[in-house]
């Protein structure tokens, strides 16, 4: 790692009140997200991932930039990610080895093999795993924010929704309830152009997701989702206002889903040249790296150093868990309820 | 001792839990200044304030979802469905999100969803439903259904204190019809998961709950008077989890079983109860396990139609006679 003191060159001032260390930390989360997902792709091809694999390629910037605007630490701010927000969970403190264990359905995974991929949470670190029913996390996170309000705690809840998920009834019920109650909730609306194979034109009739949210009396801004610092800055303002009791705020991030819905999806419905253009001209990590280097906030060697450390960390996490055992079959029975502690083993299994 | 209605007993139970534990709060439609459609929460907003008695938009999924989020964070929410018929709008939230939360993610989700259910009140198809079967199939939920004023109070208090999500079904036909002497200044708690023997007998058993518990008791008296039959009546009180031990006890005592519920027949709880008796007490039976339920139609409005569709005391009497003679 390069020196942590600011460079003595005439670089432009660092935006958004961030320090140089923080800029590099953001870079590290971006790189970690991508490297970890690339490792998962390799494990998927080796059939070590049990189910599907969901990539956030091209969306790492908005996930990391938005989560980085929260206060992190024990019992601070709170977020609920979607399937393409791995970066946001890493920012909140999720460990690569937990993600790897989840995807490989290991006994030691956070959900002990009960749930898929990044569907897990940590109440103390401040993230709540989504369920597959899009929109459901909006009312749930409204309830989290309601608790902060009832207890007069200066905490903020942040929740993600996609251009597809915003079509669900639970989204609309939840955001309206939160708006009416003026809850400290921040919505990150991800316009990534694809809901499985469905484009926005078949999903809603407005130009922007922000237009839909404003109808609920929620202030909303639209930002370039692949500009990490723009997402950070917009989210930081939203979080600050929500924390001050100004109610729900939304940030729409325009981005692009560069992989299929999941790894099995060959994206035949996506124009090839469009994919290539986003990869070539608008990759959030490429753009951020270039900005760091062009502004003199970091040297190539700093980034290379981070890349290597991230790779070594992911290697170590993989080695630590890849050969771990699957859950014991009978561990499927306990903890449906607090009481009774375990479900009954059926009679034909004790014959 | 003071005589209280089923509704007042429920109201007292909620009030006492709000007084006891400041983590308890209520959310629902018109629960605040209006006091709820049936006045269960009348006076609550004045005593506990708008922060703990929250009027919501007409959004059942948001009500239940917000209750879940708050429950994860350590609160004890009680969500009201204005009529239980509308709980179907929160079916996804309850079955997919709430019921699985502990199992899939270790999330504490202590919440209560309560609301007025049931017919015999000319409410038509959307203000008369019994919804227990829709949720009975979902591991992770508990379902309670009091028939008496004591249990209306005892079960709401136990539900609020339970660490699992509980659906509390209150029968609107019983709200003001059922009165009971309840002790003052003494804790009334009904343990979740325990049925109650409402009447002892040796000739046959009726297993029931809710409004039809009273119709079953009425039938039992008539059968004793007119036929000299001693009919045992079991009040289930908790539907999920079922009290198998109490069910098998009464089966082994009388050897004949009639299951009575107000809900429709196909896929109703009577089917599951019959299956369990078959598995656990087959050799104790001296006759087929029979069901008296609503007919398999949406519940109609006109009194002639509703009375025909729903099980009546006379139906129970006739069915019990048939079974006793088997």
What is the three-state SS of chain B?
CEEEEHHHHHHHHHHHHHHHCCCEEEEECCCCCCCCCCCCCCCHHHHHCCCCEEECCCCHHHHHHHHHHHHHCCCEEEEECCCHHHHHHHHHHHHHHHCCHHHHHCCCCCCEEEEEECCCCCCCCCCCCCCHHHHHCCCCCEEECCCCHHHHHHHHHHHHHCCCCEEEEEECCCCCCCEEEECCCCCCCCCCCCCEEEECCCCEEEEECCHHHHHHHHHHHHHHHHHCCCEEEEECCEEECCCHHHHHHHHHHHCCEEEEEEEECCCCHHHHHHHHHHHHHHHHCCCCCEEEEECCCCCCCCHHHHHHHCCCHHHHHHHHHHHHCC
Give me the mean pLDDT over the A149-166 stretch.
98
Which among A121, A129, A139 has CB closest to B66? A139
DSSP per-residue letters across A153-167: ----EEEEEETTGGG
Quick: pLDDT tens for B220-251: 999 999 999 999 999 999 999 999 999 999 99
- Assign a CATH topology to domain B2-182: Rossmann fold (3.40.50)
Cβ separation B73–A170 shorter than 8 A: no
Please tell me the distance from the alpha carbon of residue B323 to that of residue B255, in angstroms, as a whole number.
11
- The pair phi, psi for residue A252, each rounded to 5°, is -90, 130
Please tell me the distance from the alpha carbon of residue B251 to that of residue B202, in angstroms, as a whole number.
10
Cβ separation B102–A335 shorter than 8 A: yes
What percent of chain A has pLDDT above 90?
A: 95
> Is B18 part of the contact surface with chain A (CB cutoff 8 Å)?
no
Please tell me the distance from the alpha carbon of residue B305 to that of residue B310, in angstroms, as a whole number.
9
ipTM value for the complex: 0.96
Quick: pLDDT tens for A289-302: 999 999 999 999 99
Note if B137 is an active site residue: no
Helix A20-45 × helix A96-103 angle, to 10°: 20
Please tell me the distance from the alpha carbon of residue B52 to that of residue B27, in angstroms, as a whole number.
8
Cβ separation A147–B57 shorter than 8 A: no
Give me the mean pLDDT over the A53-72 stretch.
98
Give the full edge-to-edge strand order of the sheet including A220-224: A78-80, A157-162, A185-191, A249-254, A220-224
Q: Is the pLDDT of residue A244 over 60?
A: yes
Which among B60, B67, B102 has CB closest to A337? B102
Pairing of strands B166-171, B112-117: parallel
The answer to whether domain B2-182 and domain B196-324 are alike in fold is yes
> Is A128 part of the contact surface with chain B (CB cutoff 8 Å)?
yes
Chain A, nearest residue to B138 by Cα: A336
Please tell me the distance from the alpha carbon of residue A50 to that of residue A40, in angstroms, as a whole number.
11
Cβ separation A335–B103 shorter than 8 A: yes
A262: number of Cβ within 10 Å: 15
Domain boundaries, chain B: 2-182, 196-324
pLDDT score at A3: 43
- Distance from chain centroid for Cα B201: 24
CB–CB of A131/A168 below 8 Å?
Answer: no
Residues of chain B with pLDDT under 70: none
Active-site residue, from B127, B171, B253, B295 = B127
User: Is A292 strand, coil or helix?
Assistant: helix
What percent of chain A has pLDDT above 70?
A: 97
Smallest CA–CA separation between A315 and chain B, in Å? 27
Quick: pLDDT tens for B70-127: 999 999 999 999 999 999 999 999 999 999 999 999 999 999 999 999 999 999 999 9
DSSP per-residue letters across A48-60: -S-S-----TT-H
Domains of chain A: 18-349 (3.40.50.970)
**Model confidence, pTM:** 0.96
Smallest CA–CA separation between B23 and chain A, in Å? 10
Residues in chain B with CB shorter than 8 Å from the CB of A114 are 103-104
Give me the mean pLDDT over the A236-246 stretch.
98
State the average pLDDT for chain A.
95
What are the residue ranges of helices labelled H in chain A? Answer: 20-45, 60-67, 86-92, 96-103, 137-150, 169-180, 209-214, 228-243, 272-281, 284-294, 300-321
Smallest CA–CA separation between B217 and chain A, in Å? 31
Task: State the residue for tokens 């999500």.
Answer: B165
Smallest CA–CA separation between B165 and chain A, in Å? 9
Chain A, nearest residue to B66 by Cα: A143
User: Is A189 strand, coil or helix?
Assistant: strand
pLDDT score at A10: 62
Give me the mean pLDDT over the A344-348 stretch.
95
pLDDT score at A15: 80
Residues in chain B with CB shorter than 8 Å from the CB of A179 are none
Residues in chain A with CB shorter than 8 Å from the CB of B75 are 147, 150
Q: Which of B214, B85, B201 minimizes the C-alpha distance to B146?
A: B214
pLDDT score at A229: 96
> Is B65 part of the contact surface with chain A (CB cutoff 8 Å)?
yes
Q: Which of A218, A219, A220, A215 minimizes the C-alpha distance to A205?
A: A215
Q: Which of B55, B11, B56 minimizes the C-alpha distance to B33?
A: B55
B196-324 maps to CATH 3.40.50.300: no
């Amino acid at each position: 790692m390069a020196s942590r003191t600011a460079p003595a060159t005439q670089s432009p001032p660092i935006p958004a009140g961030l320090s140089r260390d923080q800029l590099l930390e953001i870079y590290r989360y971006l790189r970690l997200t991508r490297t970890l997902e690339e490792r998962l792709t390799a494990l998927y091809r080796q059939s070590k991932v049990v189910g599907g694999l969901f990539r956030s390629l091209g969306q790492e910037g908005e996930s990391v930039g938005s989560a980085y605007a929260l206060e992190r630490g024990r019992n601070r701010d709170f977020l609920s990610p979607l399937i393409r927000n791995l970066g946001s969970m890493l920012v909140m403190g999720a460990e690569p080895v937990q993600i790897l264990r989840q995807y490989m359905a290991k006994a030691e995974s956070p959900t002990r093999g009960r749930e898929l991929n990044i569907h897990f949470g940590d109440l103390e670190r401040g993230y709540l795993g989504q369920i597959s029913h899009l929109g459901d996390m909006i009312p749930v996170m409204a309830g989290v924010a309601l608790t902060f309000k009832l207890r007069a705690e200066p905490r903020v809840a942040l929740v993600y929704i996609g251009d597809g998920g915003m079509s669900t009834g639970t989204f609309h019920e939840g955001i309206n309830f939160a708006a009416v109650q003026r809850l400290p909730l921040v919505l990150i609306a991800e316009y990534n152009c694809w809901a499985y194979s469905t484009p926005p034109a078949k999903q809603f009739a407005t130009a922007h997701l922000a237009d839909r949210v404003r109808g609920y009396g929620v202030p909303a801004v639209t930002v370039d989702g692949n500009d990490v610092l723009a997402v950070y800055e917009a989210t930081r303002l939203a979080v600050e206002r929500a924390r001050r009791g100004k109610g729900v705020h939304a940030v729409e991030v325009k981005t692009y889903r560069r992989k299929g819905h999941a790894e099995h999806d060959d994206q035949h419905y996506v124009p090839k040249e469009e994919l290539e253009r986003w990869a070539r001209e608008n990759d959030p990590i490429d753009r951020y790296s270039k900005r760091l280097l062009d502004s003199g906030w970091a040297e190539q060697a700093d980034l290379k150093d981070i890349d290597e450390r991230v790779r070594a960390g992911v290697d170590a996490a993989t080695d630590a868990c890849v050969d771990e055992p699957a859950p014991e079959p009978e561990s499927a029975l306990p903890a449906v309820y607090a009481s009774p502690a375990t479900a009954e083993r059926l009679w034909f299994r004790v014959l | 001792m003071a005589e209280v209605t089923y509704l007042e007993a429920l109201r007292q139970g909620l009030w006492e839990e709000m007084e006891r534990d400041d983590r308890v709060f209520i959310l629902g439609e018109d629960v605040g200044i209006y006091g709820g459609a049936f006045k269960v929460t009348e006076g609550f907003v004045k005593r506990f304030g708008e922060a703990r008695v929250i009027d919501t938009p007409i959004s059942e999924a948001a009500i239940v979802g917000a209750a879940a989020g708050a429950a994860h964070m350590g609160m004890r929410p009680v969500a009201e469905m204005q009529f239980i018929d509308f709980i179907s709008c929160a079916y996804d939230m309850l079955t997919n999100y709430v019921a699985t939360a502990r199992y899939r993610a270790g999330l504490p989700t202590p919440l209560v969803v309560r609301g007025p259910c049931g017919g015999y009140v000319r409410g038509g198809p959307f203000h008369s439903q019994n919804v227990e079967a829709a949720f009975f199939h979902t591991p992770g939920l508990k379902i309670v259904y009091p028939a008496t004023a004591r249990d209306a109070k005892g079960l709401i208090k136990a539900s609020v204190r339970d660490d699992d999500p509980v659906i509390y079904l209150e029968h609107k036909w019983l709200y003001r019809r059922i009165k009971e002497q309840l002790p003052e200044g003494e804790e009334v708690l009904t343990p979740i998961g325990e049925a109650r023997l409402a009447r002892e007998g040796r000739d046959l058993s009726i297993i029931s709950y809710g409004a039809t518990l009273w119709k079953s008791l009425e039938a039992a008296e008539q059968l004793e008077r007119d036929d000299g039959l001693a009919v045992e009546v079991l009040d289930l009180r908790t539907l999920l989890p079922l009290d198998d031990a109490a069910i098998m006890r009464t089966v082994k005592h009388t050897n004949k079983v009639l299951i009575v519920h107000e809900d429709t027949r196909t896929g109703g709880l009577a089917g599951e109860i019959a299956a369990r008796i078959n598995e656990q007490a087959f050799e104790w039976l001296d006759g087929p396990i029979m069901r008296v339920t609503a007919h398999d139609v949406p519940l109609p409005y006109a009194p002639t139609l509703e009375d025909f569709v729903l099980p009546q005391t006379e139906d129970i009497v006739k069915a019990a006679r048939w079974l006793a003679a088997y």
